[in-house]
Structure 1
Amino acid sequence: MQHLFDSSGDWLGFRIGKNVYNSDGDWVAWLPWEDDDVVTTDGDYLGTITNGNRLYHFSDKPRRGYPGYPGYPGYPGYPSYPGYEGYASLPLGARDVTMPRPK
């Protein structure tokens, strides 16, 4: 399990394999390619995992096309709160991600 944080050090959610969950344990995104780009379950770019555990949205990312739908991975269980990670400056062209909630 990889916990994900914003630039303020606030916990956004977590990643298990290619699947990304919000802090409530809801599956909201995934990593369809062999890199750190994250897309929502609808196929929209959400952000990129950088510095090991930060999830940022980069406005200059080119559209890569619809990655398909991977199928629902199931409920991973509720993870324990990992605590505060500490501040990290935003990279150039990046903003913090707001994690989606299920529809």
Structure 2
Amino acid sequence: MTEHLFDSSGNWIAFRRHGGDKYVFDSDGEWIGWLPWNNADVADTEGNYLGTIVGNRLVRLPRPYLGYPGYPGYPGYPGYPGYPGYAGYQSLPPGASDIPTLKRE
């Protein structure tokens, strides 16, 4: 089942094809990152820290450099995940911020 990810305002910004999928896509279906470190931290397609999945939110947390994760291989076409609607506002964890490049207006 698709795992939709939202910003703190409740706007849909990203998704994974299912909960165990290591690839993350933006709401337009473009590959934006993956989970290489066996935790909830997401690297972008260049290998830099993008954000962290916290519940159903994708947020940026202060993180030290985690090292270059390598390249996971192309994820393929994800298909359309369906529109999840609005998730509602949720306050950010301490020190966290929304990811500006994924902000939906």
TM-score (structure 1 length as normaliser): 0.90
Question: Which whole-Å CA distance do the structure 2 matches of 1:65 and 1:33 have between them?
Answer: 10
By how many angstroms is 1:29 displaced?
0.4
| Aligned equivalent of 1:20 | 24
Question: Which whole-Å CA distance do the structure 1 matches of 2:8 and 2:69 have between them?
Answer: 27
**2:97 equivalent to 1:69:** no
- Name stretches of at least 5 consecutive residues in structure 1 with no aligned partner: none
Q: Percent identity?
A: 63
By how many angstroms is 1:37 displaced?
0.1
Q: Secondary structure at the match of 1:29?
A: strand
- Name stretches of at least 5 consecutive residues in structure 2 with no aligned partner: none
Question: Which whole-Å CA distance do the structure 2 matches of 1:69 and 1:77 have between them?
Answer: 22
Q: Secondary structure at the match of 1:14?
A: strand
Question: 1:44 is aligned with what amino acid?
Answer: N
By how many angstroms is 1:99 displaced?
2.8
Question: Which whole-Å CA distance do the structure 2 matches of 1:69 and 1:99 have between them?
Answer: 22
Question: 2:12 is aligned with what amino acid?
Answer: W
Q: Secondary structure at the match of 2:32?
A: strand
| Aligned equivalent of 1:79 | 81
Question: 2:6 is aligned with what amino acid?
Answer: F
Question: Which whole-Å CA distance do the structure 2 matches of 1:99 and 1:71 have between them?
Answer: 22
By how many angstroms is 1:56 displaced?
0.6
**Runs of 4+ in structure 1 over 3 Å off:** none
Q: Secondary structure at the match of 1:68?
A: coil
Q: Secondary structure at the match of 1:3?
A: strand
Question: Which whole-Å CA distance do the structure 2 matches of 1:11 and 1:89 have between them?
Answer: 15
Q: CA RMSD in A?
A: 1.3
